[in-house]
Structure 1
Amino acid sequence: MRARILLPAVLAAALFAATACGSGGTDSDSAAQVPPSQTASAEQESADAGESGAAQVPEVLRFTGTTVDGKAFDAKTLAGKPAVLWFWAPWCPKCRAQAAETAKVAAAYQGKANVLGVAGLDKNAAMKDFVSQTGTQDFPHLSDEAGDVWKRFGVTEQSRYVILDKDGQTVYEGVLPAGEGLAEKVAGLTG
């Protein structure tokens, strides 16, 4: 029984350790590694839209978390606009290189698209330091120490972007070195 409990944890740790800073992965313009987003039942979508008058919430955006600064976060707030989910780790140099362009895109498309950092593979204190040091505090960052959001989107290595259209469909999943091309991808969804 003990092996059944420890084996999944050991496998997950090995998987994360093997993906050191995005090396060994392939850059892909497809969403092959990301599970297809599924919309919730019509009843639930109607209830969500009716309660708030907001956009319908696709299944892919039905998760919650806590930001690196300790605030509750509900991904339903991303519904109705394109969204960039940036998966990063505080010790990753590639992630640090993407920070400036990601912050620039978040500011340029504020109100038209959402940007969410999803920090993992370390402790919250290191995540907070990364946000402060990189000047990315103007958009929310989840503290995903347990890797729940990473698993939800099928992300197995840091410095990855998952870009969703306004309906929650994945339109891009991959690495953008130094964030190059991020602005163009978001512009194509908002223009």
Structure 2
Amino acid sequence: MRARTALPASVAAVLLALTGCGSSGSGTADDAGTVSPSASSSPAGQPADPEGSGTETGGSEVPEVLDFTATTVDGRPFDATTLAGKPTVLWFWAPWCPKCKAQAAETAEVAADHRDEVNVVGVAGLDSNTAMKGFVTDTGTGSFPHLSDEKGEVWKRFGVTEQSRYVLLDETGETVYEGVLPGGEGLAGKVAGLTG
């Protein structure tokens, strides 16, 4: 794997040491893909909110894990608080990863099939924004937003250490699945379970 110079050296060293395109990773999910209670939905390195209070936005409570902003690969501002109140699929990918490319069609199909009931957001990292834009174009996944996470901030927030991973949040912001789904297989079923 070639080094990525777009990331600060310390972040790149940690991410690249832990990242393996194609490795299954140990993750925190059990065999059924359910995250253990010890894996909270609070951002990595931040304590969980013991009283469950989050930011109030437009009358609905925003879980702390969704209280962040970012920029999309096309340069638009992105406010994650807008995801609150709906199940959310976060797809962590890298432009040069063949397993990520293999997940693209299924992820786009799930996004289209559940457009009104589930948020789907790609979180690109480990390369330049130019490469990220090319991936979105080449894979036909432009129907849902993709964050340009060149510094790995969103990846760290969700404790993701390798690409081609999914993090599924329920409508309250709790992580209900975190792991690899080769070719996106099983994503539709997991999302259907979130929507009732």
Unpaired stretches in structure 2, ≥5 consecutive residues: 1-7, 43-47
Cα deviation, residue 152, structure 1 = 0.3
Distance (whole Å) between structure 2 residues aligned to residue 36 and residue 143 of structure 1: 21
Q: 1:105 & 1:150 partners in 2: Cα distance? A: 22
Partner of 2:127: 122
Equivalent residue for 2:20?
Answer: 20
- Displacement, 1:20? 2.5
Say whether 1:143 aligns with 2:148: yes
RMSD of aligned C-alpha atoms? 2.1
Q: What TM-score results when the alignment is normalised by the length of structure 2? A: 0.83
Which residue does 2:118 correspond to in 1?
113
**Matched pairs, number:** 178
Residue from 65, 69, 76 that aligns with 1:64: 69
Q: Distance in 2 between matches of 1:30 and 1:90?
A: 27
Q: Relative to structure 1, is the Cα distance of residues 186 and 11 closer, same or farther in structure 2, using a 3 angstrom cutoff? A: same
Structure 1 runs not aligned, ≥5 long: 1-8
Task: Give the drift of 1:26.
Answer: 3.2
How far did residue 85 of structure 1 move? 0.3
- More divergent stretch after superposition (129-138 vs 31-40): 31-40
Question: Are residues 1:189 and 2:194 paired?
Answer: yes
Amino acid at match of 2:12: A
Structure with greater proportional helix content = 1
Query: In the alignment, residue 31 of structure 1 is paired with which amino acid?
Result: V
Residue 34 of structure 2 corresponds to 30
Structure number with bigger Rg: 1
Alignment of 1:132 with 2:137, yes or no, is: yes
Provide Cα deviations, 1:125-174, integer angstroms capped at 9, x if missing partner.
00000000000000000000000000000000000000000000000000
Paired residues for 1:85-104 under 5 Å: 85-104=90-109
Counterpart-to-counterpart distance in 1, 2:93 and 2:194? 23
The Cα shift of 1:177 comes to: 0.4
Q: Which amino acid aligns with 1:108?
A: D
Q: 1:43 to 1:84 in 2, by over 3 A?
A: closer
Encode CA deviations 1:62-115: one digit per residue, 9 max, x unaligned: 010000000000001110000000000000000000000000000000010000
TM superposition outliers: structure 1 runs of 4+ over 6 Å: 40-43
8 Å Cα contact 1:21-1:94 kept in structure 2: yes
- Is the 1:83–1:166 contact (alpha carbons within 8 Å) kept by the matching residues of 2? yes
Q: TM-score, normalised by structure 1?
A: 0.85
Distance 1:40 1:73 in 2: 27
